[in-house]
Structures are given as structure tokens and as C-alpha cells.
Amino acid sequence: MNKYESLYVINPTVDEESIKALVEKFSSLIVQEGGEVTNVDEWGKRRLAFPVKDFKEGYYVLMHFTAAPEVPQELERVFKITDGIIRYLTVKLDD
């Protein structure tokens, strides 16, 4: 199992309840695929460095997890098709 870090930015117009649902959705996806979420750090609304999809700010979430190599691919596939996600990045961490 490898260690990964995923940062995703949620549309700032999404309400607080929906944000909690999205964070839970991605965490449970990792667990369903056999991984383990070690930390979820919600940074909150922050200004973006440059406009993304006409948004100037977004709700940032940083998630650390351990999983098999195919899990980040599935996670990014779900990021792509989920309304409300405006940007994401997943990287493998060194041991």
C-alpha cells in the first residue's frame, strides 16, 4: 500500500451541507476500494491564485490516505465527473 495526498477544490457556491457530503463521499470511496484515510484537513474558503472556471475562490480540502496503486485513478475519475469539484491533484508520497 502506498501513501497519497489529494487536494481538491470545491465550488464556493456549494452549501455547507453539500460540502460535508462531498468530503464524506470521497473518504468512503477510498475505504470501499480497500484504502485507509489517515487525515482529512478542511482548509475552508480561500482565494484562488487565478480564476478557475470563472471562480475566484474555492473551498479547499486536503486528504492523506494509504491505498493500492489503482485507487487514486478511481478517485480522480470520480473527481472528474462530480459536479462541484473545480480542481484536484493527487500525488504519491515518498515513504
Regarding predicted confidence, which is higher, 3 or 95? Answer: 3
| Greatest Cα-to-Cα distance within the chain, rounded to the nearest angstrom | 38
| Domains of the chain, earliest start first | 2-92 (3.30.70.60)
pLDDT band of 12, cuts 50, 70, 90? very high
pLDDT over 90 (residue 25): yes
CB atoms < 10 A from the CB of 31, how many? 13
Secondary structure of residue 52 in the 3-state scheme: strand
As a whole number of angstroms, the distance between CA 95 and CA 92 comes to: 9
Measured CA to CA, the distance from residue 52 to residue 50 in angstroms comes to 6
Q: Which tens digits make up the pLDDT trace of 41-95?
A: 999 999 999 998 899 999 999 999 999 999 999 999 999 999 999 999 999 998 7
What local confidence, expressed as pLDDT, does residue 94 receive?
87
